[in-house]
A and B are shown apart, each in its own frame.
Chain A
Amino acid sequence: MTQRKRKLGRGVAMVGAGMSAFGIRPDVTNRELFAEAFLDMVSSVDRGFDPQDIEALYVGNCGAEMWESQSVMGALCADVTGLTPRPALKVEDACASSSVAVREGIMGIASGMYDMVLVGGTEKMSILPTNWTTMALACGSDTTYESAAGFTFPGLYASMATAHMERYGTTHDDLLRVAIKNHNNGALNPKAHFPKTIKDVMDMRKAQAKEKGKPIPNWADEMEFLHDPRYNPVIAWPNTLFDCCPVTDGAACILLVADEIAKNFTDKPLYIIGSGQASGHNLHDRETLTSIPAAKLAAQQAYEMAGVRPQDINIAEVHDCFTIAEIMAIADLGFFKEGKEAATAAGEGKTARDGIKPVNVSGGLKCKGHPVGATGAAQVVEIFQQMRGEAGARQVTNMDINLALNHNIGAHGTTAVVQIYERR
């Protein structure tokens, strides 16, 4: 493969970012979720702008064909936002759909074709019963050779967890500490699917037991609650309910412009300085089961383009669809050594909001929610707010955030996107 160093043909900046509330949203469809994110984005542009100046849309959507029996989501999102007849590309790359959409939009501007584009994604998932949602999600793996062998998504990541445990002595408690941390963050995110700490969840369960006149459970701490199979059942061993992200409805979008016009819209534009993307084999065909090779490659490309190192990154939003995924992500990104160091980072507070390397301050996919086609763009929304000091109660305050990164995995690692953002 060519070793030529890749670069953007011209600079690209973010001047607006917004998202819908994440959660179970029974009264709205994909396009309406996208409209909600769009209006939130419009209100985030400091000096305002005329949406009619948007020249193209790139919309991530993983599976409206399955969940809503609806394709052409690009054109529908252009229609609902009043942007017809602009070109609108629907991008599908499983859970990385919207990060790939963001990247395509970046290239649309970097190429000189456009000066302003709208990028993002939407996913309406809660509409199908669990067994069909399991099927729809499993279409992101190889249905011929993986899903047909019985593998579900929680199952594929669970297999990576067993390989990690075997190789590095990682424990299930190491995994659960990632969930505790991300719930601590997400509790401060008003748009999160479950804006609750694990302690809040325990209090809720106790109150429910009391209300029903049942014996009130008495857990010593969060870990004892998470070890209680009545409240945290196994989904795909060793993944329990609290190792898994929820099924979420939501949308997110970002306004990208050419860097020479960025200051027309805000004094605080953020610049995209690194972008990487790679594809990967089926899990059984990879040289490793304890790392995601495509993520390592995407990270390497992004670091090279940006001219920065892992230790230079202040905060990161990473793909924690399952707890083991965050442990692999922070190693693949070069933040921590693969194995014990990465597995214990959450437990030791290193990746906490006030830690040395805050990871998933939004609550991550785990707590904020994972509307698959919107997830990558929602990671960027968090980075936009954190880098501009607009993240409210969950704002990282122990450092200046000059460099941030998002890491978004499609399926179980068949696609990976890593992008790096700079505040100047």
Chain B
Amino acid sequence: MKQIPFTIASYDKFIEDKKLMASKCVKCRAIWLPPRPICLTCKSDALEWVELNGKGKLVAFTVIGVGPMPMINAGYNRDKPYCSGIVELDEGPRISAQILGVDVAHPENIKIGIPLTATFVERGSWHFVEELARVKKTYLAFQA
């Protein structure tokens, strides 16, 4: 079977299918999320796809009232802020994502270290051109 290329498009397709897929170095076993075409540790391009279990913990976060256009178009604003954070997966890698199910009205109550589970949300694409920004896309998010 032909190897699925280690591209953003491949990753996006997996996310659309609600699968969190990473690239794993065949040589040194390092796992990369977002997937990469070249291993940062040993610089090998011998990689394979692996599915992660989607479990992790919060390592840094913010609550935003003044967001970029895709978040504004998704209904977020000063009165309805959202949380974005960095999540460390059980398998080791870290990724940026929207964090759902936390108390955005009281950010001081959101604790670093809380367990999180991967989930998937749909919103408009990141683009300056309106026609392209309107295209709906599935994004990785995490649920507290």
Contact = CB atoms under 8 A, between A and B. Distances in A.
Interface residues of B, number: 35
Given A145-B34, A149-B96, A149-B139, A289 B66 contact: no
B115 interface: no
Contacts, number: 110
Contacts of A147: 68, 126
B46 interface: no
Given A135-B128, A144-B126, A166-B112, A152 B66 contact: yes
A149 B141 CA distance: 8
B98 interface: yes
Interface in B111-144: 112, 126, 128, 139-140
Interface stretch (A116-124, A154-162, A200-208): A154-162
A282 B60 CA distance: 14
B64 to A, nearest CB: 5
A159 B86 contact: yes
A35 B49 CA distance: 53
B76 to A, nearest CB: 8
Given A134-B66, A144-B8, A162 B72 contact: no
Interface residues of A, number: 38
A285 B34 CA distance: 9
Contact of B95 (A132, A135, A145): A145
A339 interface: no
A234 B70 CA distance: 20
A152 B61 contact: no
Interface string A140-175: 000111111111101110111011001000000000
A292 to B, nearest CB: 14
A37 B70 CA distance: 37
Interface string A367-379: 0000000000000
Interface centre among B68, B95, B98, B107 (most CB of A within 10 A): B68
A282 B96 contact: yes
A105 to B, nearest CB: 31
6 contacts: A145-B34, A151-B62, A154-B62, A158-B64, A159-B62, A159-B84
Interface of A: 66, 130-132, 134-135, 138, 143-152, 154-156, 158-160, 162-163, 166, 233-239, 282-285, 289
Given A152-B64, A236-B64, 13 more contacts: A131-B69, A144-B126, A149-B96, A150-B76, A150-B84, A154-B62, A159-B61, A159-B62, A234-B63, A236-B62, A239-B62, A284-B95, A285-B40
